[in-house]
Amino acid sequence: MMVSFFDQFASPSFLGIPLIAIAIALPWILFPTPPSRWINNRLITVQTWFINRFTNQLMMPLNVGGHKWALLLASLMVFLITINMLGLLPYTFTPTTQLSLNMGFAVPLWLATVIIGMRNQPTVALGHLLPEGTPIPLIPVLIIIETISLFIRPLALGVRLTANLTAGHLLIQLIATAVFVLLPMMPTVAILTAVVLFLLTLLEVAVAMIQAYVFVLLLSLYLQENV
């Protein structure tokens, strides 16, 4: 029976019960909890150092009002990295390959940044729709274009994350299938293809981390415009 390459992106279920909730909740179980002792182990020390460095770099361009988002953005970053990395393991499901999940993250957070801007500084927030020095005949056109670009932002966030992870998973599966097909007929070519597959897997590990960082970084840039 022929199996579609896109079957790996279907949400798994057991006895009719979708298991995506388990795939989403599992990363939080894997993280070690800080102990009550003063001296931590190496894993918690590395985890704390990484989160502190990331949070400092992310919050540096923002003013004091934007620092309230530090916990939310850092948690989202760690959550996305963990889900993306776990999805590279065999026999696992990557929830972030679902556009609906990514849009569920992107739309509320983007909308929250827009609402904060309209509430705190409505003149500045609306001023982003019309660049300074615009000729009068172009004002209606530019307002329409900037409004469309504003509403496309959450769609771009969700589609970017979904497309990059989906393309990487498909490419890995295609090359892995080629290795199994070529192994009995042309072992040398199959070995070379396996080396390419290994390098591609390393690249996908980097992509999984980078895409999570880009998702949160763009959210912080949208927040920077409105605080």
pLDDT digits (tens, 9 = 90+) for 53-82: 888 888 888 888 788 888 889 889 888 998
Pair 210, 84: CB distance under 8 Å: no
Beta bridge partners of 14: 17
pLDDT at 131: 76
In a domain, 213, yes or no: yes
In a domain, 7, yes or no: no
Can you give the pTM of this predicted structure? 0.83
pLDDT at 2: 44
pLDDT at 69: 87
In a domain, 11, yes or no: no
Number of structural domains, the chain?
A: 1
In a domain, 177, yes or no: yes
In a domain, 107, yes or no: yes
Residue 193 belongs to domain spanning: 19-224
Give CA–CA dist 73/54, Å, rounded. 10
Report residues of the chain scoring pLDDT below 70: 1-9, 32-35, 38-40
Pair 32, 43: CB distance under 8 Å: yes
Pair 146, 130: CB distance under 8 Å: yes
Place of tokens 């179980």: 29
Beta bridge partners of 18: 13
Cα–chain center distance at 101: 11
In a domain, 204, yes or no: yes
In a domain, 210, yes or no: yes
In a domain, 47, yes or no: yes
Which residues make Cβ contacts (< 8 Å) with residue 74, sequence separation at least 6? 51, 54, 55, 58
